[in-house]
């Protein structure tokens, strides 16, 4: 079977860390000289890169694979299921999800083509955990924005989270490997650092090396700016704060997942912080790094969460006044310590609490953005929004594809270039203006 003649496609689900894994698989495809299409209907081999973090993500992944199976009526010959879902649930998945021809885990890039050879020979293949991770990548973001995954796995052991069970213990990638990878990405306006916990980089080898990594990446001529995601609050040290403040390449923005504000719930979650410590950290960041934008995420409806604790979380939002927030209903995941907790909150109550928290944050965000009306905001152009008939980009206080956007008109604009946009109006998430 001459696989080099096959056309490959990919549907990647889940987070940006998963996206990097998918890009490595596509790098393997490219290294074999195969054509890659972004139209699933044109693919002869279609890879579905799955997420398994939450029940909803697993359901979406399975429904996507089943839906893609209908493409066999056209050009599709093989369905490859890869990522977190087979990594964690291959025993149940392999006999049940018969639509899949090949199953790979999160680090099995090297087995893609050997497994496909076996599949084309008539075998249904489970190759989970048999390969190694790829290095070369095919970038799927706009060319001016790239992700760099600096570690995999986690050793925080939050009681609600499956990540350690899926991806194992925290493993920092060697600094020389990361520098070579970043250097090979070409001209990059914004390098986004991701991991389950970026701030613990190097600790698995005995010493935190996150700040040295930032300095080394900043020395690369092809990297213009660096954005930091998934910075755990207890590891946002004074050294890191100074680096964010003083390093001109680091975007004045931190994503700090807090998950809750109330001490009792935080302890049940296995989180190390307290409400007072979180508020003190927020105050310190804003004092030490003028103009910094802060983003976080919260879980609503964790087992035993009371109405009073939910109300206290809403009050915490009003006190902290984050630039951006995400909210999730607690998902009861079998195999996690929180699964066994008594006092599970009904689904309708969790949904109501998520909605209420979003309403609080939207009012805060709308007020913050409204203050920018009539001012100029520096915006990185991400391309054209065909639906609105204008250009679209993001400001320093907005992470690409995560937070709000800036929609703007201009005589002309180039993707990957910066523009000073005069803000004419705003809503609770986005800004609108013109160059």
The 10s digit of each residue's pLDDT in 154-188 is: 988 899 998 898 899 999 999 999 999 999 999 99
Could you tell me which residues are beta bridge partners of residue 394? 380
228, with CB counted inside 10 A (0-12, 13-18, 19+), is buried
Number of Cβ atoms within 10 Å of the Cβ of 45: 24
What is the reported pLDDT for 379? 98
Return the H-helix or E-strand segment holding 424.
Answer: strand 418-426
Mean model confidence pLDDT for the chain: 95
Token pair belonging to 103: 């199953």
Q: Which residue has the tokens 């496609």?
A: 9
DSSP label at residue 261: S
For the chain, what are the domain ranges? 3-126, 145-370, 376-434
Distance CA 350, CA 137 (A): 39
Residue by residue, DSSP assigns 277-291 as HHHHHHHHHHHHSTT
Compute the average pLDDT of residues 4-29.
Answer: 93
Beta carbons within 8 Å of 68's beta carbon, 6+ residues apart: 11, 40, 46, 48, 76, 79, 99
Question: Of 19, 98, 12, nearest to 48 (Cα)?
Answer: 12
Residue by residue, DSSP assigns 187-239 as SBSEEEEE-SSGGGTTGGGTS--HHHHHHHHHT-TTB--EEE----GGG--HH
The CA distances from residue 50 to 57, 129, 193, in Å, are 8, 15, 21
Report the DSSP pairing between strands 151-152 and 145-149.
unpaired
Distance in angstroms between the alpha carbons of the first and the last residue of the chain: 54
CATH T-level fold of 145-370:
pyruvate-formate lyase- activating enzyme (3.80.30)
Compute the average pLDDT of residues 362-388.
Answer: 96
CB 281 within 8 A of CB 233: yes
Angle at 266 between CA 148 and CA 166, to 5 degrees: 45
| Tally of CA atoms within 13 A in the half-sphere of 76 that contains its CB | 22
Distance CA 396, CA 204 (A): 31
Distance CA 198, CA 17 (A): 11
Q: Which CATH architecture has domain 376-434?
A: Beta Barrel (2.40)
- Tell whether the model's pLDDT for residue 133 goes beyond 90: no
- Tell whether the model's pLDDT for residue 96 goes beyond 70: yes
87-96, 131-140, 186-195, 346-355: least confident range: 131-140
Token pair belonging to 289: 């790094």
185, with CB counted inside 10 A (0-12, 13-18, 19+), is middle
What is the pLDDT confidence band of residue 53, given thresholds at 50, 70 and 90? confident
CA-based Rg of the chain, rounded to a whole angstrom? 22
What is the reported pLDDT for 1? 63
Question: Of 375, 354, 370, nearest to 404 (Cα)?
Answer: 370
| Tally of CA atoms within 13 A in the half-sphere of 164 that contains its CB | 13
Number of Cβ atoms within 10 Å of the Cβ of 409: 15
What is the reported pLDDT for 136? 87
Distance CA 323, CA 293 (A): 6
**Which pTM does this prediction carry?**
0.93
CB 136 within 8 A of CB 24: yes
Compute the average pLDDT of residues 241-250.
Answer: 98
Distance CA 264, CA 215 (A): 38
DSSP label at residue 95: H
Question: Of 410, 394, 412, 422, nearest to 144 (Cα)?
Answer: 394
Token pair belonging to 27: 């790098």
Distance CA 49, CA 311 (A): 38
Report pLDDT digits (tens) over 382-405: 999 999 999 999 999 999 999 999
- Tell whether the model's pLDDT for residue 106 goes beyond 70: yes
CATH number for 3-126 (one of 3.20.20.70, 3.40.640.10, 3.40.30.10, 3.40.50.12160): it is: 3.40.50.12160
Compute the average pLDDT of residues 12-41.
Answer: 94
Distance CA 258, CA 319 (A): 14
């Amino acid at each position: 079977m001459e696989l080099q003649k096959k056309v490959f496609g990919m549907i990647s689900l889940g987070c940006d860390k998963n996206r990097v894994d998918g890009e490595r698989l596509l790098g393997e495809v490219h290294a074999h000289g195969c054509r890659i299409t972004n139209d699933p209907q044109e693919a002869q081999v279609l890879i579905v890169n799955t997420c398994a973090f939450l029940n909803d993500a697993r359901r979406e992944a399975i429904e996507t694979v089943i839906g893609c199976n209908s493409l066999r009526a056209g050009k599709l010959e093989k369905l490859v299921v890869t990522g977190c879902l087979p990594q964690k649930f291959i025993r149940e998945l392999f006999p049940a999800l018969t639509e899949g021809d090949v199953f790979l885990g999160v680090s099995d890039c090297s087995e893609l083509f050997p497994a496909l050879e076996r599949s084309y020979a008539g075998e249904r293949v489970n190759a989970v955990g048999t390969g190694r991770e790829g290095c070369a990548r095919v970038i799927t973001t706009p060319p001016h924005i790239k992700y760099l995954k600096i570690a995999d796995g986690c050793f925080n052991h939050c009681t609600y989270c499956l990540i350690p069970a899926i991806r194992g213990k925290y493993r920092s990638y060697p600094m020389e490997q990361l520098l070579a990878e970043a250097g090979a990405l070409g001209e990059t306006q914004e390098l986004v650092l991701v991991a389950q916990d970026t701030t613990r980089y190097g600790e698995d080898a005995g010493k935190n090396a996150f700040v040295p990594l930032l300095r080394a990446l900043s020395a690369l001529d092809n990297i213009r700016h660096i954005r930091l995601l998934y910075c755990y609050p207890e590891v946002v040290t004074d050294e890191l704060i100074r680096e964010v403040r003083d390093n001109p390449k680091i975007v004045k923005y931190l994503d700090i997942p807090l998950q809750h504000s109330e001490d009792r719930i935080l302890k049940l979650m296995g989180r190390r912080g307290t409400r007072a410590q979180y508020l003190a950290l927020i105050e310190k960041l804003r004092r030490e790094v003028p103009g910094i934008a802060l983003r976080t995420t919260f879980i609503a409806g964790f087992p035993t969460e009371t109405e009073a604790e939910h109300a206290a979380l809403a009050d915490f939002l009003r006190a902290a006044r984050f630039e951006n927030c995400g909210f999730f209903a607690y998902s009861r995941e079998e195999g996690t310590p929180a699964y066994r907790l008594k006092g599970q909150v009904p689904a309708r109550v969790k949904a109501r609490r998520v909605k209420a928290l979003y309403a609080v944050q939207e009012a805060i965000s709308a007020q913050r953005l409204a203050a920018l009306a009539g001012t100029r905001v520096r915006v990185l152009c991400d391309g054209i929004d065909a639906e609105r008939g204008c250009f679209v980009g993001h400001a320093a206080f907005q992470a690409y594809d995560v937070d709000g956007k800036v929609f703007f008109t201009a005589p002309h604009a180039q993707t990957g270039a910066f523009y000073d946009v005069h803000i004419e109006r705003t809503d609770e998430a986005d800004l609108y203006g013109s160059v």
